[in-house]
Amino acid sequence: MANRLMGKTAIVTGAGSGIGRAIALRFAAEGATVLASDVTEGVEAIARESELIFPFRCDVSSDSDVAALEAEAQSRFGGLDILVNNAGIGGASDTPLHEYPIEVFDKVHSVNLRGAFLVLQAGLRLMLASGGGSVVNTASTGGFRATPGSSGYIISKGGMVMMTRQAGYEYAARGIRVNAIAPGTIRTPILDSAPDEVVARLESRSPEGRLGTADEVANLALFLASDEATHIIGQCYVIDGGRTAG
């Protein structure tokens, strides 16, 4: 089925690479006009791939940047139909919780949780003004499953899961659906420089024996954003090749 988002307007944060890039391109291919935001130059490059994608530099940890993103959407669209709240960073790894640097913890949460909250607030205001919409947050399997040494990231994604439930419950009666996707390890450019043995180890964790692709995650985001998912609210959908099934 094509053109599932024809005539819709969307914001996708973290659209410069990886999952966000795949979602922005897929939404545009389905007919949506996309305001693609990121802190990297990649957001300029993606805009050259579709006439329906418009780049916007935004650091979601900055109150003023998010306010500017909201103002741009209001000016360009007059409201908003879809928000993909995807921007995020990883933080420290292999660091025990009692040794985790608080400055790294704060930075991760300034993007993954506080920043996501600011973007969600902006999206909700735009949707309330235009009569409803659909939000897709990017959580993680880490929001459900502890990973030793990565407490900053894991705790932030746990917060994203609860933020999704809270907003879904709070705004359902006002015509706004809020859901989340929870990817496992996905094959994105961040792994391009990883040693073969590291990639093989990551692949071995999945009973499917491979890593997911950004396009597969985009398929799930598309479904949740579309009118095919009209009775799905406050839910978080895991896409990890079955890793967390056992």
In a domain, 54, yes or no: yes
In a domain, 212, yes or no: yes
pLDDT for position 174: 98
For residue 1, pLDDT over 60 is answered with no
In a domain, 223, yes or no: yes
| Choice among 153, 169, 171, 237 that is catalytic | 153
In a domain, 100, yes or no: yes
In a domain, 243, yes or no: no
Give the model confidence (pLDDT) of 181-211 as tens digits. Answer: 999 999 988 788 778 888 898 898 889 999 9
In a domain, 246, yes or no: no
Q: Is 171 a catalytic residue?
A: no
Give mean pLDDT, residues 121-126. 98
Give the number of other Cβ atoms within 10 Å of residue 9's Cβ. 22
Task: Judge contact between 37 and 65, C-beta under 8 A.
Answer: no
Give the model confidence (pLDDT) of 136-188 as tens digits. Answer: 999 999 999 999 999 999 999 999 999 999 999 999 999 999 999 999 999 98
Find the domain containing 38 and state its range.
9-237
How far, CA to CA in Å, does 98 sit from each of 15, 106, 200? 33, 15, 30
Measured CA to CA, the distance from residue 91 to residue 106 in angstroms comes to 10
Give the model confidence (pLDDT) of 106-120 as tens digits. Answer: 999 999 999 999 999
pTM exceeds cut of 0.85: yes
CATH number at residue 82: 3.40.50.720
In a domain, 187, yes or no: yes
Count: domains in the chain: 1
In a domain, 2, yes or no: no
Measured CA to CA, the distance from residue 203 to residue 187 in angstroms comes to 10
Measured CA to CA, the distance from residue 235 to residue 178 in angstroms comes to 8
How far, CA to CA in Å, does 38 sit from each of 47, 70, 87, 95, 195? 12, 14, 7, 28, 27
* Unique residue bearing structure tokens 């420089």: 193
